[in-house]
Amino acid sequence: MSLPVIAIVIPCYNEEEALPFSIERILSILRCLDQQGIASSHSYILCCNDGSTDDTWGIIKKLHSQNSSVKGISLSHNRGHQYALLAGLMTVKDRCDAAISIDADLQDDPNAIIEMVKKFNEGCEIVYGVRASRASDSWFKRTTARGFYSFQKSMGLDTVYDHADYRLMSNRALNLLSEYGESNLFLRGIVPLIGLKTDVVTYDRHERVAGKSKYPLGKMLSFSIDGITSFSARPIRMIFIIGLILLLLDVAMSIYVFISYFGHDVIPGWTSLMLSVWFLGSLILMGLGVVGEYIGKIFVEVKQRPRYAISDYLID
């Protein structure tokens, strides 16, 4: 049996500081895979430059000229982590036996790659990298990230807990992934839908090797909302349920009003009227907001725009 060719896919956005370290480190892991006889010596790295404004692409080109195991693609402009990752995965789909996606900052321990490949050789088609602890993250990042998972779960979006986009996918899994044509990309939600034999590898999360995070709170929040509205209709159902409860309360309220009306004099209450007008007004606005969110998604989906455009290849 021939050894599997593994492609390591790295989305890179303004990573000129981190990239030289990261590539060096991952190349050593690839050598290790080769020495241990668990992956082919033709395994390689594919860097996806996500429209960086610094010298990231220049560095990728330089590393490619020094070592042909470092390959690259460059998106024509910045599309965001998920799209850069998809572009990379779709590029290696028919050029490897399995692909592993990892961030350029090596916050996810690259040693887990070895475990992932072992699991792949044992027959797993998707292997999730799951963080054993978040000790290296700041208190703020840790708390907001926890909130992010529980909020998603309560809204009906099931993802693998403490798994970001560090995972191995077999050639078959990648081909199945390519059939998901949605524009609002949330890979963490899509991959579990693929099925196939899956397993988990745990690792410790480290500090960034260099550079700054490109995922501040605002981006993380919008990513979370994107995930929920792409995968779950629970928010809209919640509005419906609130409406139903209010309707029941309204029936009880009407009975009470009628009894009071026939029983004794009622002074028309300006305060209660105002309160209900405001309350109902905000409820209606909230409902409209949720409906609007879904209509926005439909709007983007029906246009069926290409999700990325690759301008350069450094493949062969």
Task: Return the residue matching tokens 């965001």.
Answer: 80
Minimum CB distance to Mg ion, residue 77 (Å):
21
Q: Is 215 a residue that touches ligand UDP (CB under 6 A)? A: yes
**Which residues in the 89-108 window bind ligand UDP by CB under 6 A?**
103-105, 107
Minimum CB distance to Mg ion smaller for 86 or for 194: 86
Minimum CB distance to ligand UDP smaller for 34 or for 137: 137
Instruction: Tell me the window of 64-72, 80-88, 92-100, 270-278 that interacts with ligand UDP (CB under 6 A).
Output: 80-88
CA atoms within 13 A of residue 150's CA, in its CB half-sphere: 6
Minimum CB distance to Mg ion smaller for 91 or for 107: 107
Minimum CB distance to Mg ion smaller for 215 or for 256: 215
Per-residue binding string, Mg ion, 87-116, x by CB under 5 A, is ----------------x-x-x---------
Minimum CB distance to Mg ion, residue 94 (Å):
29
Q: Is 87 a residue that touches ligand UDP (CB under 6 A)? A: no
The DSSP output letter for 108 is B
Burial group, residue 54, by CB count within 10 angstroms (0-12, 13-18, 19+): middle
Minimum CB distance to ligand UDP, residue 47 (Å):
9
Residue 81 binds which entry of Mg ion, ligand UDP, none, with Cβ cut-offs from 5 to 8 Å by kind?
A: ligand UDP
Minimum CB distance to Mg ion, residue 107 (Å):
4
Q: Is 162 a residue that touches ligand UDP (CB under 6 A)? A: no
Q: In residues, how long is the chain? A: 316
Minimum CB distance to Mg ion smaller for 103 or for 162: 103
Residue 84 binds which entry of ligand UDP, Mg ion, none, with Cβ cut-offs from 5 to 8 Å by kind?
A: ligand UDP
Q: Is 129 a residue that touches ligand UDP (CB under 6 A)? A: no
Minimum CB distance to ligand UDP smaller for 63 or for 239: 63
Contacting residue, 5, 6, 7, 11, with ligand UDP by CB under 6 A: 11
Q: Is 17 a residue that touches Mg ion (CB under 5 A)? A: no
Nearest to 26 by CA among 259, 12, 254, 161: 12
Instruction: Give residues in contact with ligand UDP (CB under 6 A).
Output: 11-13, 15, 50, 78, 80-81, 84, 103-105, 107, 213-215
